[in-house]
Amino acid sequence: MGDTGLFGDMNLIGSYYKPDLVLIPIGGHFVMSPGDAAYATREMIKPKFAIPVHYGTTPQLKGTTAEYIGALGQGATKVFPINPGEKLSF
């Protein structure tokens, strides 16, 4: 199925499943960087809401929510940069 490169099947996810909410990894070492995650969010998946995950837990996962939000820019996706233990209701 599709490209197995950096973005894998993100176009498929966006076009076929059309998710309203995504948990998007932004850490940068083992997962996408904030810039790559922003590109995938904005250009491929196009959700209404995004929750950044997999960042800041080890020294290698240096990506930040501020970098992700900055790279994502103003658009249709609302970002919820939550902290451990916080809850969201939709």
Query: Does 39 reside within a domain?
Result: yes
pLDDT at 57 over 60: yes
Query: Does 88 reside within a domain?
Result: no
Q: Are 1 and 9 in contact (CB under 8 A)?
A: yes
Q: Worst-scoring range by mean pLDDT, 18-22, 33-37, 81-85? A: 81-85
Query: Does 87 reside within a domain?
Result: no
d(CA 59, CA 80): 23
The neighbour count for residue 82, using CB atoms within 10 Å, is 13
d(CA 37, CA 52): 9
Average pLDDT, the chain: 91
pLDDT at 2 over 90: no
Query: Does 38 reside within a domain?
Result: yes
The residue segments making up the domain with residue 44 are 10-79
**In DSSP terms, which residues pair with 78 in a beta bridge?**
49
The count of domains in the chain is 1
d(CA 28, CA 8): 16
